[in-house]
Structure 1
Amino acid sequence: MTVELLRNAVRPYAWGSRTTIPELLGRPVPAPHPEAELWMGAHPGDPSRVVGVDGTERSLLDVVESDPVGQLGERCASRWGGRLPFLLKILAVEEPLSMQAHPSARQAAEGHAREEAAGIPRDAANRNYPDPTAKPELVCALTEFHALAGFRDPNRTVELLKAIDTPGLTKYTELLAAQPDPDGLRTLFTTWITLPQPALDRLLPEVLDACVHHVKEHGEFDTECRTVLGLGEAHPRDAGVLAALLLNRLTLSAGEAIYLPAGNLHLYLHGTAVEILANSDNILRCGLTPKHVDVPELLRVVDFACGDMPVLRGEPRGRMAVYRTDAPEFELSRIAWDAGDRGELELRGTGPEILLCTAGELLLCSDDGTKVELRRGESVWLPACEAEVRLRPVTAGPAHLFRATAGTCTDLP
């Protein structure tokens, strides 16, 4: 049997929801504790379990390591050193995450080697680079999804800062207005996140009061001010609240996505999404968290390129929408059957895949005669040796499937 169901790990971070993931998996709601992420993949921190027909389970990490060429294909196994290069997740964001950025491949390799040489344990709280690999990621909304991502056009940010001007803020507004480009953003961002705490304690209340006034007056930047007020309430005295004023405020509808390459500063605020990322756990935090913040290392990683954050809607290919990026580690596709559509779809790929059902129920048939029913919240592992899979809805209701692959797939549905 080459198409196998996965049992996936749930990560119980404090920012998660007590209802989203349990409801998706058909478990009692609410859960006793917040459940933030559902991991599908072979990351050593929490690999999926491959469920055999007899009910036995094996770690997907062990399955891949025991036969990397057979599971990943020769090209994928060679390029990524026998590792599955991507990790697929469900994100259930009830409260904002930390503001963060991820390193490039070069930065990750150098940082990992430096910390290994220093003898810092990989699970240490002050470890920045537990993995020697990059961590680009793409997040695709399942529900309305709110985020801050990438630096806003600085001219537009100057308009925002002027709209909430206070005596303490004026000099910073003038600083950016005098140099409305990436270098000006770097200067202002660096100044704010390195402010001595007494100076920050004077400036932040002024800014938050100005945001309250702007909201009451139904100002142009209502959404941005409400976001900053929420962050200020959750994280008083945190410089990350000021940094949030510099980022694009995004609201994604279901099916819309954003791609976060190396260096992109971002913060997920609220909603449910599918996320695909390189198989890494390297995070440089800016603030809005009690976890380790390494400002000098963050400044080496952050990309101060600015402008509107592109929203991806997927390249249409029949029932499939493909979210193209320049990330070599992964590609994400969304496949949708409308109500009443019982049509069959063939998937042909040359590398490993994970298929995740997020709505309806699907029947998967492989070329060796294996049949698997995939219900909402369930996922399957397809090794590289699986040449073809056919899918169709079990019932006439709508059905949605996400397909995670390594790099670009060449099938034609």
Structure 2
Amino acid sequence: MDQLVNTIRPYAWGSTTALPELTGTEPDGTPQAELWMGAHPSAPSRVHRASGTARLDALIEAGPAAELGEATLRRFGPRLPFLLKLLAADSPLSLQVHPDLAQAAVGFKIEEAQGVPLDAPHRNYRDDNHKPEMIVALSPFDGLCGFRPPAQCAGLLDALGLPELAPHAAALRGEPEESALRAVFSAFLAASQDLIDAVAAAVARAARTAGPHRSAFEAYEAVSQAHPGDGGLLAALMLNHVRLAPGEGLFLGAGVPHAYLRGLGVELMAASDNVLRCGLTPKHVDPDELLRVVRFTAAPVRVLLPAARGGEEVYPAPVDDFRLSRIRPAADVPTVLDATAPQILVCTRGHIRLTSPFGSLTLRPGGSAYAPAGERLTVEGEGEVFRATVDAGA
């Protein structure tokens, strides 16, 4: 078991205060958007061992069977299959989707064959992996997730009172779901600047008008203010607005458009950096590839709550790349964690003591630890810790 030394990513949308408040450190005025815990080569965690400080990705590369365990190595190859983060958003992230495994493999192969550099701004696929992800709120957390039913989208457009949107509302009411969502979403990606500006002004008015959509329009106005003149606002209008209470979560699968708006949370994902953006960003947007990846299916937001399993509370996910649980040790009753897979634990409240056959350490909020496969951990203390690992059957 090793205490991790992690990197904070200073993305512009990050909060200047949320992570410092969590960790009890002084803010320095710069955005602290994400704290990365894992072995992703972009910002791998570091550990202190007898031989000195080492990057976690290098340790896994040097001894994959010992670090990952045979089952994880067979299933995912010589890499940690997940990436754990603390995410602190003070303004909306880009509106985005992620490919499935087959799409990622094909897209990566094509761009490799074309000789597109991995760090090129216009590159879509930086690896051959999918990127399912989960967010669990630590504070009230706002986001956009998945398409609204077409009739609801149409009602929202009607409420803006713009004649230019009437044909799109009619299409949403008159065509089958998939074709309706695809047609309107495609049109919104190609919208004129005049329409974008008119919608932004209408959203601002609707956010101050009493009505059934007011709370949603308040969220969309925040999106517009954070990204003035960005056409992603129109696409955002088609998505469900959701507010999570602390402890509630969302799972986001392949092809589901989404954006986090504001809040602090624990995020766990497959170890990938494949993102196709729909808007709300100055970064590259590839409409043709985006439309190939998006799944035009409407669905209500499914808010996740954890289920008790032994001494853990496990958040359900339909993938085997990761498993996320919350542990709040009972007084004088330690939680024992057996793992045939590697695991990372991060403390989010109080103080947590971890003990293994090789030693012990105490985590305070923001502190994290890594244990290789096969290392039994005992968790005790007064607080809360989130655990990322892979199911034993992987």
Query: TM-score if structure 1 supplies the norm length?
Result: 0.92
| 1:214 CA displacement | 2.7
Match of 2:46 among 44, 49, 58: 49
In the alignment, the residues of structure 2 paired with residue 372 and residue 225 of structure 1 have an alpha-carbon distance, to the nearest angstrom, of 47
2:283 is aligned to 291
| 1:36 CA displacement | 0.5
1:370 is aligned to 359
Match of 2:33 among 16, 36, 39: 36
Match of 2:63 among 53, 67, 70: 67
| 1:146 CA displacement | 0.3
1:120 is aligned to 116
2:378 is aligned to 390
| Cα contact 1:13–1:34 (8 A) shared by 2 | yes
Match of 1:260 among 252, 256, 271: 252
Match of 1:6 among 1, 4, 16: 4
Match of 2:308 among 308, 312, 316: 316
In the alignment, the residues of structure 2 paired with residue 369 and residue 207 of structure 1 have an alpha-carbon distance, to the nearest angstrom, of 60
| 1:106 CA displacement | 0.7
In the alignment, the residues of structure 2 paired with residue 5 and residue 178 of structure 1 have an alpha-carbon distance, to the nearest angstrom, of 57
1:270 is aligned to 262
1:401 is aligned to 385
2:77 is aligned to 81
Match of 1:159 among 147, 150, 155: 155
| Cα contact 1:44–1:61 (8 A) shared by 2 | yes
Amino acid at match of 1:33: T
Match of 2:21 among 5, 20, 23: 23
Amino acid at match of 1:253: A
| Cα contact 2:142–2:242 (8 A) shared by 1 | yes
Amino acid at match of 1:74: E
In the alignment, the residues of structure 2 paired with residue 210 and residue 373 of structure 1 have an alpha-carbon distance, to the nearest angstrom, of 52
Amino acid at match of 2:227: H
In the alignment, the residues of structure 2 paired with residue 241 and residue 164 of structure 1 have an alpha-carbon distance, to the nearest angstrom, of 13
In the alignment, the residues of structure 2 paired with residue 113 and residue 230 of structure 1 have an alpha-carbon distance, to the nearest angstrom, of 38
Query: Where do 4+ consecutive residues of structure 1 move more than 4 Å?
Result: none
Number of residue pairs aligned between Structure 1 and Structure 2? 393
1:132-171 → structure 2 map (5 Å cutoff): 132-171=128-167
Residues 248-295 of structure 1, C-alpha deviations (whole Å, 9 max, x = no match): 000001111100011110000000000000001010000111111111
Match of 2:187, SS? helix
| 1:363 CA displacement | 1.4
Percent same amino acid among aligned pairs?
A: 43
Residues 172-203 of structure 1, C-alpha deviations (whole Å, 9 max, x = no match): 111111125122101100011023xxxx2222
| Cα contact 2:353–2:380 (8 A) shared by 1 | yes
| 1:309 CA displacement | 1.4
| 1:58 CA displacement | 0.8
- Alignment pair present for 1:251 and 2:239: no
Residues 13-64 of structure 1, C-alpha deviations (whole Å, 9 max, x = no match): 0011111223333332x2241110000000011100012368x311000111
Amino acid at match of 2:78: G
Amino acid at match of 2:198: E
| 1:319 CA displacement | 4.5
In the alignment, the residues of structure 1 paired with residue 71 and residue 349 of structure 2 have an alpha-carbon distance, to the nearest angstrom, of 33
Amino acid at match of 1:401: V
In the alignment, the residues of structure 2 paired with residue 303 and residue 51 of structure 1 have an alpha-carbon distance, to the nearest angstrom, of 44
In the alignment, the residues of structure 2 paired with residue 235 and residue 321 of structure 1 have an alpha-carbon distance, to the nearest angstrom, of 37
Match of 1:126, SS? coil
In the alignment, the residues of structure 1 paired with residue 198 and residue 120 of structure 2 have an alpha-carbon distance, to the nearest angstrom, of 37
Amino acid at match of 1:400: E
Query: TM-score if structure 2 supplies the norm length?
Result: 0.96
2:344 is aligned to 354
| 1:65 CA displacement | 0.6
| Cα contact 2:311–2:336 (8 A) shared by 1 | no
In the alignment, the residues of structure 2 paired with residue 209 and residue 383 of structure 1 have an alpha-carbon distance, to the nearest angstrom, of 53
Q: What are structure 1's unaligned runs of at least 5 residues?
A: none
Amino acid at match of 1:26: G
In the alignment, the residues of structure 2 paired with residue 21 and residue 267 of structure 1 have an alpha-carbon distance, to the nearest angstrom, of 20
In the alignment, the residues of structure 2 paired with residue 63 and residue 153 of structure 1 have an alpha-carbon distance, to the nearest angstrom, of 47
